[in-house]
Chain A
């Protein structure tokens, strides 16, 4: 069994995950553990599911997911993951879907509120970058990384009941174009899957490994104008972007409503030209002061 730490959980895994931080046997004592193992799963799903989606089925205690051509996954009781991969599938692909799909299923079963997004530390707080596919969430987190900021998580932002964000995996995933623009040598980086030109960029000492209270949610979207626009969202106007960018789960509406009263929300519209990235980061850094946050590097 391999032992790792992620989202403040101890992960005991039959599979090796070089993407994760290893931990010792003594770390397991009195810790919240989840297990990952290989096994055969029912191709038809669960008995009497309460909820059925295109690829998944759900009961009170279990989530089953079938990704055609990749694997089937089962999450039980919020702490057991079984993986049934398609024969011959490469290990990097198996790992990617466990880290993403399975972990998000597991964290939802543990009643965390999940955002699609990246989280950057600012002093004793953190800010999240969320938005639709291709809006630049990981790219902007990597730009902050380059400026010396620390990062809590990329891809899955997990928020607890006290509105603290949990530390995730110690890397950011960047597409080739963004990695090149930010000065990362992709020849030295691991691809997330052999067929995809998207890479793991290790956070190393810039991985912030403990929970921080969430202060601001920046909602990114791209537009066809040259300028960058930051717009503070007030009152109940915050609810829609929070709902749109969180995973569906138990009490999602209630929790987003509560979160709206706890955090600031800022809409960020930018042209997604990587040469505008420095300017975008400058503007967001200037915006931190509006929320009582100090630029972490000043």
Chain B
């Protein structure tokens, strides 16, 4: 009998639709309310939330531990949280699915009900990523190709988030989709945009959200990009990086055709072509 308690991970490389997914989830969890305002968009704590980790460690401050020492404790934290969960909880994660030196996965299977992995065409993702990081597209391409790329790894200042190894974009995708014994469903951002009702219905079913087609349609309407942009203009959005004008930018598919140069496209395809083919972003014969 499947467990009724535990964690679903909402996993993605940054700028792949994770926030949009969570906005829809929160709307589905609160169907009687109107559109949920952006300040209430919180499913569970993010995997890399230092507050979540500290609360679980109780008397131990993760800020007194090195990044590597914290990583050693993270599997036990997630296992504990999943096994003691009161029902089902949903937690965003940007970390790649990595392993400690003793081959323990950072994200344990115990206490975990599954992972919904969102993937987005890297040709579009890189544009969004460059805005998010406030860097050039070429710099964003390099970061997406860097197996050592990580968030929150400074040694000189504290962060509210733990260090998150992203690996390269391709490696990030492969790490999650090949995660041993992990119940993973992959959803493409493009299908979320182009076939939203069908795609979000599949996602809701996987995530054990008991939602009717009508409820999903309503949640999708509440989460339309225009409404989110309007809310952000009026009230701001907590996930917007400080040096970026807005979080909800365009949210369109195929922007790369108008923005990327041929050299940039070639570089991305050279680095990530195999994974792009596997998920329909390049013809298999390319």
Contact = CB atoms under 8 A, between A and B. Distances in A.
A1 interface: no
| B contact face: mostly helix, strand, loop, or mixed | loop
Interface in A73-114: 96-97, 100-101, 104-105
Interface in B57-77: 57-64, 66, 69, 72-73, 76-77
Contacts of B241: 224
| A contact face: mostly helix, strand, loop, or mixed | loop
B233 interface: no
Interface in B207-256: 236, 238, 240-242
A104 B59 contact: yes
B155 A54 contact: no
A189 interface: no
A55 interface: yes
Q: Which of B156, B158, B242 has the most CB of A within 10 A?
A: B158
B69 A69 contact: yes
Interface string A201-242: 000000000000000000000111110000000000000000
Q: Which of B154, B236, B242 has the most CB of A within 10 A?
A: B242
A100 B64 contact: yes
Given A55-B60, A175-B157, A225-B236, A132 B50 contact: yes
A133 B238 contact: no
B63 A65 contact: no
A193 interface: yes
Nearest to A132: B51
A183 interface: no
A168 to B, nearest CB: 15
A141 to B, nearest CB: 14
Interface string A118-147: 000000000000001111000000000000
A54 B156 contact: no
B151 interface: no
A63 B59 CA distance: 11
Nearest to B161: A134
B174 interface: no
A67 interface: yes
B62 A133 contact: yes
A43 interface: no
A97 B50 contact: no
Contact of B50 (A69, A100, A134): A134
Interface residues of B, number: 31
Contacts of B242: 224-226, 271, 273
B66 A133 contact: no
A178 B158 CA distance: 10
A65 B76 contact: no
A18 interface: no
A133 B56 CA distance: 14
Nearest to B76: A54
Nearest to B53: A133
A280 B58 CA distance: 30
Contacts of B69: 69-70
A141 B241 CA distance: 26
B54 interface: yes
Contacts of B56: 53-54
A248 interface: yes
A67 B50 contact: no
Nearest to B77: A54
A68 B66 CA distance: 13
B51 A133 contact: yes
B280 interface: no
Interface string A182-206: 0000000000110111100000000
Interface string A37-55: 0000000000000000111
B86 to A, nearest CB: 16
A196 B238 CA distance: 29
Given A177-B157, A224-B241, A101 B59 contact: yes
B231 to A, nearest CB: 15
Contacts of B238: 223-224
Contacts of B76: 54
Nearest to A273: B242
Contacts of A2: none
A100 B77 CA distance: 20
Given A195-B66, A196-B66, A224-B242, A175 B58 contact: no
Given A55-B59, A177-B157, A273-B242, 17 more contacts: A53-B58, A54-B58, A55-B60, A56-B59, A101-B60, A104-B59, A133-B51, A133-B63, A134-B159, A134-B160, A155-B61, A193-B64, A196-B64, A196-B66, A198-B63, A224-B238, A224-B242
Interface of A: 53-56, 63, 65, 67-70, 96-97, 100-101, 104-105, 132-135, 155, 175-178, 192-193, 195-198, 222-226, 247-248, 271, 273
26 contacts: A53-B56, A54-B77, A55-B57, A55-B58, A55-B60, A63-B59, A65-B58, A67-B60, A97-B60, A100-B60, A100-B64, A104-B59, A133-B50, A133-B51, A133-B158, A133-B159, A133-B160, A134-B50, A175-B156, A175-B157, A176-B156, A177-B156, A222-B160, A224-B240, A225-B236, A225-B242
The 6 tightest CB contacts between A and B, nearest first, are: A176-B156, A177-B157, A133-B50, A134-B158, A134-B160, A224-B242
Interface of B: 50-51, 54, 56-64, 66, 69, 72-73, 76-77, 80, 154-160, 236, 238, 240-242
